[in-house]
Structure 1
Amino acid sequence: MQGDAHTALRWWQTRWFVGAMALAAAIPLLWPDIPPLVDLPGHMGRWRVQQAGGEVPWLAQWYDFNWMLIGNLGIDLLMVVLEPLLGLELAVKLVVLTIPPLTAFGLLWIAREVHGRVPPTALFALPLVYGYPLQFGFVNFALSMALALNAFALWLRLARLGRLQLRAALFVPLGAVIWVCHTFGWGMLGLLAFSAEAVRQYDKGQHHGGTRWFAAVFWAGIHCLSLAPPAALMVLWRTGGGVSGQTADWFNWRAKTLWLMMVLRDRWLTFDLAGFAALLIVIGAAIRSRTLTFSRNLAFSALVLAACYVLLPRIVFGSAYADMRLAPYMLAIGIVAIRPKPDIASGRAVLVATAGLAFVAIRLAATTVSFYQFDRVYDRELAALDAVPVGARLVSFIGHNCRNDWKMSRIEHLPAMALVRRLAFSNDQWSMAGAQLLTTKMPQAPGFRFDPSQITTPTRCPREWWRPIAVSLTWFPRDVFTHVWLVDPGPYDRRLEAGLKPLWRDGRSVVFEVEQGVPAATLRPNDLGPLGPEFLERIGKLRGHPHIAETAALKPS
């Protein structure tokens, strides 16, 4: 690719095409009012407290919000500027809307810098901009990764132009900005920059008489010192008082295999796995084909990311899915590393580009349909908020099952929209000191204060923390909460509604007002399914502590 600098650009190599592909990546997010990403509504609840907490006194009774410098502030800081101008929901939508285009542009820019022109195979990487981490709603993380990809492309460009002093100066603030957005993006930028610089130093050494790899690695480290300052911020953050969270679950090979298979997980199991298979076919073809090859630069970067993926535990500082988050970006860099050999027939290159464009179009169309359908669910369920008074002490219970269905419901953190729109209490917020700026108080409601207390199941699930709906409805402290919101809770005995006055109902979803002084129904073993008797025996040993989700009695069986 680099040798055809004087030949005409193909359609997939033009600037207008790259721009069109980047803009097209935003299409699935245009229709939904709230991007249907699992954790996003929960984050929106935090941003509502962040922006309104000083003006709404009851929020300060329920939540502690304290600004501090942590590596997880990307959209949090943007909301400070955008929310007063646009309102919270529109501001969040517009910021999230930029993430897929930024990611797509970064990948194509990297391809252009490494190969000289965008190879037709690079198009196959673009559907990964809607990889599983974004679908899960890790939005600060996804924004930082999008910024990191573009920063890496700039790193490569400045090296190609010989502007190394300018690069060193620019990447001191750039690295800090990406770290503040999310630590993971800064870490990936460091890995990509180091691996690319090591290859550049190795090639430079070969040209001047054969520098060995250890020398190339040494000088790559020297050049990457401009990215090092946030390491001091990381130490201060993680050694400061009040920071919690463990690092655990190393070398979980089953989970790591599943994360790879789930890189395109959205709604349709067979369709999404077929997309993953297509990515493997592209990589396999590049390994075995006589017409495709790999850039050593990006191939080495992909191998470094793969090693990091293997070594990362599932939980880092209490944050789950640490290794899973890297999977789609690792594959994307591996695919962007592929290019046709210079002697490939023109017709075959066009065929590869057409197949790549078709793959992008099919995946984008499917994601658009999927997000539209999730948006309809959101609209139907959020109609319940018309029945929730402003400032209600609301406890919410969201229906789940004991299976890990491929199509996630995306409603697990919908209760936070009551906090966003009605300034009501939401028991879905994460409460981990040091990991985020918000922690939940409400000490009079232990076990019903924070995530995952909002998740309920029809029966007791083995190896899960979630409560059965019968437990949730009979145990929540009725003198603390004024309203209950059930969101598609699954079947349950209507006698469990004792003391609850329905204000709104649509199918199984319902908003109740708590009738003070009316006792809850009695919990029976058959309300809990096959594990009910054993479960009640365990909690019988903790008589006098009826609200015990934060005790051993509700730990996984």
Structure 2
Amino acid sequence: MNRGERLHWWQTRWFVAFATFLAIVPLLWPDIPPLVDLPGHMGRYRVQLVYDQYPHLHQWYNFNWSLMGNLGVDLLVIPLSKVFGLELAVKLIVMAIPATTVAGLLMIAREVHGRIPASALFALPLAYAFPFHFGFVNFALSMGLALLGFGWWLRLARLGKFQFRSIVFLPISVLIWITHTFGWGVLGVLAFSAELIRQHDKHRGQDFVQSWVLPWFKAGIQCLSLAPPVLLMLAWRSGGHVTGQTADWFNWRAKMLWITQVFRDRWQLFDIASVGVLFLLLFKAIRDPNLQYSRNLGLSFLFLAAVYVLLPRIVFGSAYADMRLVPFLLAIGIIAIRPKPGLSMRGAATVAAIGMAFFGARMAATTWSFFLYDKSYDRELKALEHLPEGARLISFVGETCYNEWKMTRLQHVPALALERKLAYTNDQWSMPGAQLLTVRYDAAKRFAHDPSQIVTDVQCPREWWRPVPWALSRFPRDAFDYVWLLRPPEFPDKFLQGLVPVYTDDHSNSGLYRVDHSIPAPVIRPGELPLPKWERDLILNDGRQFNSNLPEPEASPSPMLP
């Protein structure tokens, strides 16, 4: 596109500002962004802020600062919580994530095409893709920063400021890596592919070596300013305290599932149809003589697609590694599309209007969805009004084996008891080297950390979750004073034996109960219930309930894979 052409409404700075604001609208109402893992992270943030002030936290958790590629929000909440309080600070940071994602995509589109193409508007709803809904906030923040960083990388190249770019991206690469390793890796892939095209175009028409081989070497040299985090990565992963498996390679069924679920939120038909709109546009750009793909972003798309194919589902104990890349892979593919010279502005305006309608519809649906989730959070959190500060709390959150499209997003709400009441909660992750916080409350035994808070009505295949009767009868009652049930499945009343109601919800099975230590736990008779996975170590003839030699899972199995 000619940069001297008259700007149209979707190419103006006013539109970029409006689109960026529209991206934060779904998060304006909820007090706590209803993202699955976020409440669990908020519990950790509270511990890091007050760990030295409350000795009882030392009995339950280890918290040690260390340099790792997963600290974005953890660091930002320190200064912001002093000004706004922790909950509002977290909300403001989370609101910035879709805003930076939208701004980054539009910046990249402008730098690559000279003007924002009308079709780029279809990529903007991907700021609210499934990885964001899941609450991978450090990852999502790093990706937003990586998109902005890539836009600036392209701009500095267009202005010929290569030396300045090399200097300034040394600290930028480190900051993005500290936010989350994934964002730094994606920035490297995008920057290298862009440099490869630039170097190839620079030497086009020369011999094979000059135009096809040498550009790979020169692109690598230009990207050396992004390399310093490699040393940080080696230091982090070589630490003796670091654990976590890397597994589940080339799971094609899962990879196809992540693509169809890229917009997964509440309404399955609407979410899948939205994915269909994106693929319709991607295929139309191949066949339509009026559209074409940018070679720059087209190569970036191919590189990211190769990374997606090669990336396993679990990396260093962190699940859904490949799933996280899907929305950004699609977004780069969408913003790579541009009209060929000669397309009428009337046609472009129609595409822009449809793209804006698509963006607006997705934001409206997400806003209503988040409002409904916020109402469910408010309802469940009433129980905390009756919980004393510093309580030893065990929580059980209902889940099913059926992989419903709409998740309850309550899986880590128990951590808000830690965030608000400094109570012990059994839903924290405990993966040394992946999180700053690990669990040390030995008395909790096999109910110490995630996913011990998840309960079901039956034993789910290939899951670590317990049926609720087993959880209520087997948790070590001497280690806890309160039990918090959040929408558990139906179960016989006998399993509430020894639990005194403190607060109950009349419209669900949710409630807060005080443990009466003078009353024994209910007994499960032989054959009364199927033996769940985590109880296979019961040895009935000598009365032992737990075998500490059994290995703990390093990553929660996927609740989305059938």
Indicate the residue corresponding to 2:485 in structure 1: 486
In the alignment, which residue of structure 2 is the partner of 1:198? 196
Q: Which amino acid aligns with 1:515?
A: D
Partner of 2:316: 317
Q: Map residues 172-321 of structure 1 onto 2, 5 A cutoff.
A: 172-206=170-204, 211-321=210-320
Per-residue deviation, 1:26: 0.2
Q: Is the alpha carbon distance of 1:545 and 1:196 closer, same or farther for their aligned partners in structure 2, counting shifts above 3 Å? A: farther
Residue among 155, 158, 174 paired with 1:157: 155
The change in CA–CA distance for 1:74 and 1:539 in structure 2 (over 3 A counts) is same
Distance 1:142 1:490 in 2: 32
Cα deviation for residue 517 of structure 1 reads: 2.2
Q: Say if 1:306 and 1:550 are closer, same or farther in 2 by CA, change over 3 A.
A: farther
Does the CA-based 8 Å contact 2:70-2:178 persist in structure 1? yes
Structure 2 letter corresponding to 1:474:
S
Aligned residue number for residue 520 of structure 1: 521
The amino acid across from 1:340 in the alignment is P
Paired amino acid for 1:58: H
CA-CA distance at 1:539 after TM superposition: 3.2
Contact residue 537 and residue 547 of structure 2 kept, 8 A: no
- In the superposition, relative to structure 1, how do residues 427 and 337 fare at CA in structure 2: closer, same or farther (>3 Å)? same
Letter paired with 1:99: I
Distance in 1 of aligned mates of 2:424 and 2:178: 28
Letter in 1 for 2:136: F
Contact 2:467-2:532 within 8 A present in 1 as well? no
Q: What corresponds to 2:12 in structure 1?
A: 14
The question of whether the paired residues in 2 share the 8 Å contact of 1:539 and 1:553 is answered with no
Mark the CA change 1:540 to 1:81 in structure 2 (over 3 Å): closer, same or farther.
same
Give 5+ residue unaligned stretches, structure 1: none
Query: Is the partner of 1:504 in helix, strand or coil?
Result: strand
State whether residues 448 and 549 of structure 1, in contact with CA within 8 Å, keep that contact through their aligned partners in structure 2.
Answer: no
Q: Would you say 1:511 and 2:512 are equivalent positions?
A: yes
CA distance in 1, matches of 2:277, 2:325: 19
What's the offset of the Cα at 1:417? Answer: 0.3
Decide which moves more: 533-542 or 308-317. Answer: 533-542
Aligned residue number for residue 90 of structure 1: 88
Could you report, residue by residue, the CA deviation over 1:211-269 in whole angstroms, capped at 9, with x for unpaired residues?
23221111000000000000000000000121000111000000000001111110111
In the aligned structure 2, how far is the partner of 1:536 from the partner of 1:313? 30
Q: Give the superposition deviation at 1:404.
A: 1.0
Deviation at 1:83, TM superposition (A): 1.2
Aligned residue for 2:441? 442
1:308-341 deviations in Å (ceiling 9; x for gaps): 0000000111110000000000000000000011
* Structure 1 segments of 4+ aligned residues over 6 angstroms from their partners: 533-538, 552-556
Q: 1:308 to 1:495 in 2, by over 3 A?
A: same
Task: Output the CA distance in 2 between the equivalents of 1:542 and 1:548.
Answer: 14
What SS is found at the alignment partner of 1:206? coil
Shift of 1:301: 0.2
**Closer, same or farther: CA 264–543 of 1 in aligned 2, 3 Å:** farther
Taking the aligned partners of 1:127 and 1:542, their CA distance within structure 2 comes to 58
- Amino acid in the other structure paired with 2:448: R
Q: Which secondary structure does the structure 1 equivalent of 2:284 belong to?
A: helix
TM-aligned CA deviation for residue 524 of structure 1: 3.9
Normalised TM-score (structure 2): 0.95
Cα 1:33/1:547, change in 2 over 3 Å: farther
The aligned runs of 1:57-96 (5 Å cut-off) are: 57-96=55-94
Q: In the superposition, relative to structure 1, how do residues 222 and 124 fare at CA in structure 2: closer, same or farther (>3 Å)?
A: same
Ranges in structure 2 where 5+ consecutive residues have no aligned partner: 558-562
Moved more, 513-522 or 148-157: 513-522
The CA distance in 1 between the partners of 2:371 and 2:533, in whole Å, is 43
Q: TM-score, normalised by structure 1?
A: 0.96
Q: Partner residue of 2:560? A: none
Three-state SS of the structure 2 residue aligned to 1:212 is helix
Q: Structure 1 535/27 Cα, relative in aligned 2: closer, same or farther at 3 Å? A: closer
Instruction: Give, in whole Å, the separation in 2 of the partners of 1:553 and 1:79.
Output: 31
Question: How far apart are the structure 2 equivalents of 1:91 and 1:553?
Answer: 34
Shift of residue 44 of structure 1?
0.2
User: Equivalent residue of 2:390, what SS?
Assistant: coil
- The CA RMSD measured in Å over matched residues stands at 1.8
Q: Deviations over 1:70-119 (max 9, x none)?
A: 00000100111111221110100000011001100000000000000000
Cα 1:391/1:293, change in 2 over 3 Å:
same
Q: Per the alignment, do residues 536 and 35 of structure 1 end up closer, same or farther by CA in structure 2, a change over 3 Å counting?
A: closer
What is the alpha-carbon distance in structure 1 between the residues aligned to residue 74 and residue 533 of structure 2? 44
Which residue in 2 is equivalent to 1:364? 363
Sequence identity percentage = 56
The whole-number CA distance in structure 1 between the counterparts of 2:17 and 2:167 is 28
* Distance verdict in 2 for CA 1:139–1:534, change over 3 Å: closer
| 1:389–1:422 CA contact under 8 A, matched in 2 | yes
Assess if the C-alpha contact under 8 Å between 1:447 and 1:548 holds in 2: no
Write the deviation string for residues 185-227 of structure 1: whole angstroms up to 9, x where unpaired. Answer: 0000000000000000000011666623221111000000000
Alignment partner, residue 348 of structure 1: 347
SS of 1:461's partner is coil
| Contact 2:112/2:296 (8 A) holds in 1 | yes
Question: Which amino acid is the alignment partner of residue 551 of structure 1?
Answer: L
Choose 535-544 or 141-150, whichever is displaced more. Answer: 535-544
Instruction: State the 1:5 CA deviation.
Output: 2.6
Q: Specify whether residues 544 and 214 from structure 1 end up closer, same or farther in structure 2 by C-alpha distance, changes over 3 A only.
A: farther
The 2-side partners of 1:549 and 1:274 are apart by 48
